[in-house]
Amino acid sequence: MILDRLIAQSQAQAADAVGAPPPALSRRQFVTLTVGGAVGLAFMPLATPSVRAQNAPTVPPGQKPTEAPGAFVSIARDGSTTVLCNRMDMGQGIETALAMICAEELDADWSRVVTGFGNQRGNYVDPFMGMHLTGGSNSVKNSYLQYRELGARTRAMLLSAAARQWNVPVASLTAANGVVSAGGRSAGYGELFDAAMKEPIPEAVTLKDPATFRLIGKPTGLKPSAAKSNGEQRYGMDVSLPGMKTALILRPPVFGGKVASVDAAQALRLPGVEAVYTVPLDRGGQGVAVVASAYWPARQGREALKVQWDLAGVEKADTGELVQRYRALARSGGTLAPQQHFRADVSAAAAAPRKISAEFVFPYLNHAQMEPLACTVDLTAERCTMHYASQMPGVDAATVAAFLGMKPEQVDIVVQMAGGGFGRRATPTAEFPREAAAVAQAMMRAGKPAPVKVVWSREDDMRSGYYRPLTVHRAEIGFDDSGRVLGWDHRIVSQSIVSGSPFEAFLVQQGVDGTTTEGMREPYDIPMRLAVHHPKVNVPVLWWRAVGSTHTAYVMETLIDEIAVATKQDPVAYRLRLMGDSPKAARHRAALQLAVDQSGYGRKALPAGAAWGVAVHESFESVVAYVVEARMQGRGAQARPVLVNVTAGVHCNFCVNPRTVEAQVQGSVVMALGTTMAGERITLKDGVVEQSNYHQFAVPRMADAPRVAVHIVPSNDPPKGMGEPGLPPLAPAFANAVARLTGQRHRELPFGASSPA
């Protein structure tokens, strides 16, 4: 296998770095090397030796596991060049983007480049965070320089090998399009690669002048697009191993429930059903696994089970009661956000000539990715090999190893392409791979070892998964007739998504989860006091694409718009005025102005019954501005808002692949549109999730999709990420357009939803 070859090469090249015991680090060194003690600090106890070696300050340049060319690049004799992605691709296009970056400096023949994925080994950690992570729109941002240097080092080693073989100076050689040349002599990269991997890895390499780029920055189709289009692309759900069984788990109706009794007699009589086991679940619960020859027998067997559940002492959350509780909390107290700019004196608001008092409700949301979860486990006494799409394979491997009583190095994760994720495949508890490992362990203990694929149906994930938190905002704003904000008193009520996880140590500061408040206030220069309540609720919550900005952007951008309308100011001009000349807002101004200019806002007359809507927001260090056109469809009580046109202005610094950015913005628009559509919310009654599939949890269809035009602000600054930033400003831009059409401000998502007052 290509990956096996790459692993062998990387181990040979980085043997000293990987094999050496980690030196003692001072606290300052440790914090610096693990990004302020952030993710690295939280997960360093789980790190493999190669990860720890990578963070050792004595390792010279080019010798860290993340810098070993052989771990990432393999070139066959025919010139086919494989570049491995150190992340999981769930449709965001990083598999192609990182290969483009590497191939640019390698001067590879792009038509011969193929892509693949790394695994849980230390070579494939995020080079800045020191852990395996696909999330936070960090992939291109954090690995841009890494993959450029990987390409440049590989190229240098190819040149060195050719110079040695031909007995000529390296300076006399050139490399282009996968061929090394000297005078009339030439050799393809594939002919030189094995010898090149025996050359010393250079400590320093000279990178190209961006003005000479031939791949980076050019619109480029994704490498797996053809396979995805013709049905050949393989996903985690498609894994098949010899002798493999399929298992489904019956989970308790209420989170944390346990099994009181199981009658499996009827299930075991069904053809194809082979075994039934009680297994431990995430969050302390228990479930009943049905192992069968294939999916359908497993599903029939599960339906035939007779299980009594022990729900004693388990909280039964109810959405209606929670909203009432949250509304009450939003009217009082709270823990002040630790940042100084959230502790302004807002007493002047009491005497302000104009006031807005607004309360917002955002529902629980399911990730609803197209490919439900699946994890295939091949467990033996000595090794556990897992095949699935993982956003945190290193964390998963360590957690599964601890559960099985193995060492982390005994667990291998074969990372798969994912059919969507949006955060669902990155649970700090390693939820679904650990549950899959529990089924494999039960089979082994029963003397029936075999590879097993544990599948979550759509209903399983909808009813028993993780969710974006239910959140309530309350704002009390005082402003004058010119729109100057005199005071903005704000409270947020929301579960913490990191409380109780290893991320709590650095994401929760002074009792406030920073993911809850991200996106508040900036880029506007306004006096704000921000307080937060984090209630404890028996509903599992997790990051959801763009995390806190999915609600903070809506609140900020609709309220800013409301002040502009109330003071009879153009919403764009008012936003620009509040941003001022601050350098921090320069990218916001550029993105907003680009969207305005390209949309025709202020110059183009809209058809009767149509209106403009505007919003701009920064998340994960990229800024997206939307100017949208909306109209109402139908009459009277049947009228509903329709999004017609969307013009995006994007500032993500240097853009590696404009086509990928365009696709991510288009996808974000559709996903964000769903949050406004009636029916897209998760509700609970007596602890039970009421939705089970797309017929009860609305998602946009093709007929709902607007026209989307994406425009990118030119920049030569280091690139930022785009997997998430396109989502937050869409819903408020749409809501602002609807407010102009109807005079109604939607304080709750989805539009038309109603909650107890």
Q: Give the distance, in angstroms, between the CA of residue 388 and the centroid of all CA atoms in the same chain.
A: 16
List of E strands, 104-195: 113-117, 174-176, 179-182, 185-188
Model-wide pTM > 0.85: yes
Q: Give the distance, in angstroms, between the CA of residue 171 and the centroid of all CA atoms in the same chain.
A: 44
Buried b / exposed e across 438-469, counting CB within 10 Å, b at 16+? bbbbbbbeeeebbbbbbbbbbebbbbbbbbbb
**How far apart are alpha carbons 703 and 677 in whole angstroms?**
13
**How far apart are alpha carbons 430 and 391 in whole angstroms?**
10
- The residues facing 117 across adjacent strands are 85
**How far apart are alpha carbons 424 and 366 in whole angstroms?**
9
**Sequence-distant (≥ 6) Cβ neighbours of residue 318 within 8 angstroms:** 684, 685, 686, 687
Cβ contact 316:254 at 8 Å: yes
CA nearest to 380, candidates 456, 452, 286, 275: 452
Domains of the chain: 2-229 (3.30.365.10), 236-312+373-455 (3.30.365.10), 333-365+467-742 (3.30.365.10)
Mean pLDDT per block of 10 residues along the chain (757 residues) reads 47 39 32 31 38 59 93 97 97 97 98 97 94 95 98 98 97 97 95 98 96 97 95 96 98 98 98 98 95 98 98 97 98 96 96 98 97 98 97 96 97 97 95 98 98 98 97 98 98 96 91 97 96 98 98 98 98 97 95 98 94 98 98 87 98 98 98 96 98 95 96 97 98 98 96 69
CA–CA distance from 304 to each of 264, 281, 299, 387 (Å)? 8, 21, 9, 29
The pLDDT assigned to 635 comes to: 85
Helix (H) or strand (E) holding 490: strand 485-494
**How far apart are alpha carbons 73 and 178 in whole angstroms?**
13
Burial zone of 748 (CB within 10 Å; 0-12 exposed, 13-18 middle, 19+ buried)? middle
Question: What's 322's DSSP letter?
Answer: H
By three-state DSSP, how is residue 199 classified? coil
By three-state DSSP, how is residue 157 classified? helix
Burial zone of 366 (CB within 10 Å; 0-12 exposed, 13-18 middle, 19+ buried)? buried
Question: What's 731's DSSP letter?
Answer: H
CA–CA distance from 562 to each of 190, 265, 294, 359 (Å)? 62, 63, 56, 14
CA–CA distance from 594 to each of 126, 173, 417, 601 (Å)? 33, 45, 34, 11
* Torsion sign over Cα 680, 681, 684, 688: positive
**How far apart are alpha carbons 672 and 736 in whole angstroms?**
14
Amino acid at 334: G
Give the tokens for residue 703: 């007929």
Buried b / exposed e across 483-519, counting CB within 10 Å, b at 16+? bebbbbbbbbbbbbbbeebbbeebbbeeebbbbbbbb
Burial zone of 6 (CB within 10 Å; 0-12 exposed, 13-18 middle, 19+ buried)? buried
The pLDDT assigned to 641 comes to: 95
**How far apart are alpha carbons 210 and 370 in whole angstroms?**
37
By three-state DSSP, how is residue 629 classified? strand
Torsions phi, psi for 526 (to 5 deg):
-135, 150
Establish whether the linkage from the previous residue to 523 is cis, with ω within 30° of 0.
yes
Q: Using alpha carbons only, what angle is made at residue 63 by residues 213 and 394, rounded to the nearest 5 degrees?
A: 90
By three-state DSSP, how is residue 117 classified? strand
Buried b / exposed e across 181-211, counting CB within 10 Å, b at 16+? ebeeeebbbbbbbeebbebebbeebeeeeee
Cβ contact 241:523 at 8 Å: no
Burial zone of 13 (CB within 10 Å; 0-12 exposed, 13-18 middle, 19+ buried)? buried
List of E strands, 341-484: 354-362, 365-366, 374-379, 384-388, 411-415, 452-455, 467-468, 471-479
Give the tokens for residue 316: 């039964």
Buried b / exposed e across 98-131, counting CB within 10 Å, b at 16+? bbbbbbbbbbbbbebbebbbbbbbbbbbbbbbbb
